Amino acid sequence: MTLTLLAASAVQQSATRLISLSPADILIIVIYFVMVLGIGIYLRSYANTSNDFFMAGREMTAWVAGLSFLSANLGALELMGWAASTYQYGILAAHFYWIAAFPSMVFLALVMMPFYYISKTHSVPGYLRLRYNEATRALSGISFACMTVMMSGINMYAMAIVMKVVLGWNIHFSIWVSSLTVAAYVTLGGLFSAIFNEVLQFFLIWLGVLVVPILGMIEAGGWTGLVLKIHQRVHSDDYVHLWKTLGTFSGNPMGVHWTGIVFGLGGAIACGYWTTDFLVVQRAMAAKDLRSAQLAPIIASYFKMIVPLIVILPGLLALAVLPYRLVPESAAGPGMHSYNEVLPLMLARYCGPGLLGLGVTALIAGFMSGMAGNVSAFATVWTYDIYQPYIRKWETDAHYLKVGRWCTILGVLLSIGTAYFVTQFQSIMDYMQALVSFFIAPLFGTVITGMMWRRATPKGGFWGLLAGTGSSIAMYTLVKIKPAYLAVIALSPNAKDMAENLYRALWSLIICVLVTVAVSLFTTPRPANELVGLVYGYSGIPTDRSLPIYKRPVFWACGVAIFFVILQWIFW
């Protein structure tokens, strides 16, 4: 019997409060809210210019930038979404931490970060303006602003689930309280406040959620016991192998072939997200020098490798120990629990007084981290890449600083509106990966083609990005209208939603690059002197050969590569 069939026979569970907060739990949560607001008020004096507000003055050390780089990604969306996807697809979800992290994060550090940093651009759309033209920047800026608002809405929805499942709080009340807190501290301190709160939230997340895998593994009887229990529940070993089941489309819960994982995930989605999503790239660009900017994503990649302990493992434990079956969000009726509720259900199962407060605080921290990252990125892109060039071009720095603060509030309000779209998807991560395939995969094609190929022209960049984004949305719409086309786009009738996302991202990237090349061959390129510092071959990349080997980013990149190979071998 498959997991899908088991899900259909879900036992009716109460959707109201599962556990009550003790005074100690409430005190921990209150202290956290006071701390983040205090940080925002304190750092307001450090955000006196637009460069301070949007780029943290470019004063961050490699470690601070690196932890913030990861924490901006480690939001409630990440914590709850991948726990849900693990319940749905098994350990295959760990690919999104390993093959989707190490190669692309190191590629960003060693290949792309020098261009971002030496160009002194405030955003990825800003780089596209320098490399291509204003039209390409406008297109990427608008699409990125839409994506960040939608992703911020996912974090809001994830937080509402926590409050509903664990605390029995009203969903609307929890959304507004948490959202207004984020709006307050980001508006006050800008990226300074977002980064320092993200570092704080990184440690809180680990302290709060680590109790679930520790107590869960004790209950399951270690890894061997966990695997045995999963076999007994789903009558298959497909849920506990990374690569063994990927030789065919029908041999694994995701309905994906290894080509989709390697090229769709590792190539299109991962490289697109980690190298062009300004939400994370902005943190590395805030580093104090190029070496620190390059080390930031490499430091983050080491921590990214071990995040599955607190995200993937709880999902596997839920498969093994929960006495009832969870269902897709779109099928969750009254009294049922959905995939998205895996992590709060596990917190309620293992956390007593004090520990529950710490666990809930960790999820609140994750929510705020993810939302703050999206909102600060939205404010930066809107101000620098939409408002300044097209609405009010010749204003003072103080004016743009004020606009940035108001955009933060606007981003929060728009995010609240998008939070309710998530219920139409089976899980949070299916929704998130759909957004990435729409906006990020084609953007990577435009950026990397322009960075590596001198002949790419402004018209080629614009039409390639438009074709990639448009084709991705068209493929998604086509499958929704006529599901039979899933077998064409995802190469198999056995493919699930996530597999479709992976292949759709790959096709949109290929379309973007092909259209960019084709249009460029028939249009006029920019003069070589305008491409200095923007394209390989026309740029003097600073060298670190004078440094001892252990201080070079490439040395630490080799270390994480070894770590990566070991993990693949262990969980093959």
Q: Read out DSSP for 254-299? A: T---HHIIIIIIIIIIHHHHHHH-HHHHHHHHTBSSHHHHHHHHHH
pTM of the entire structure? 0.76
Please, are residues 196 and 372 in contact by the beta-carbon 8 Å criterion? no
Backbone angles phi, psi at 100, to 5 degrees: -90, 5
For position 221, what pLDDT does the model report?
85
Residue in the block written with tokens 């070894």? 562
**Within-domain flag for 122:** no
Please, are residues 196 and 41 in contact by the beta-carbon 8 Å criterion? no
Per-residue model confidence as pLDDT tens digits over 161-216: 666 666 666 666 766 766 676 666 555 545 555 566 666 667 777 777 788 888 88
Other C-beta atoms closer than 10 Å to the C-beta of 130 total: 17
- Counted domains in the chain: 1
Give dist(CA 289, CA 118) in Å, integer. Answer: 10
Residue in the block written with tokens 């590395």? 284
Please, are residues 141 and 385 in contact by the beta-carbon 8 Å criterion? yes
Any idea of the CA torsion for 366, 371, 377, 378, to the nearest 10 degrees?
170
**Within-domain flag for 53:** no
Give dist(CA 312, CA 298) in Å, integer. Answer: 22
Domain with 249, as residue range(s), is 3-43+68-113+128-570
Backbone angles phi, psi at 349, to 5 degrees: -75, -35
**Within-domain flag for 16:** yes
**Within-domain flag for 431:** yes
Residues of the chain with pLDDT under 50: 1-16, 50, 52-57, 189
For position 464, what pLDDT does the model report?
95
The closest of 86, 79, 157 to 361, measured between CA atoms, is 79
**Within-domain flag for 559:** yes
The structure tokens listed for 571 are 């969980």
The closest of 188, 202, 196 to 379, measured between CA atoms, is 188
Per-residue model confidence as pLDDT tens digits over 477-525: 898 888 888 888 888 877 777 788 889 999 999 999 999 999 999 999 8
Give dist(CA 130, CA 136) in Å, integer. Answer: 10
**Within-domain flag for 324:** yes
Q: What is the CATH number of the domain that holds 79?
A: 1.20.1730.10
The contacts of residue 142 (CB under 8 Å, 6+ apart) are 386
As a 3-state breakdown, the chain gives helix, strand, coil percent values, each rounded to 5, of 75, 0, 25
**Within-domain flag for 120:** no
The structure tokens listed for 242 are 């990374």
Give dist(CA 264, CA 506) in Å, integer. Answer: 5
Give dist(CA 549, CA 551) in Å, integer. Answer: 5
**Within-domain flag for 58:** no
Give dist(CA 51, CA 56) in Å, integer. Answer: 7
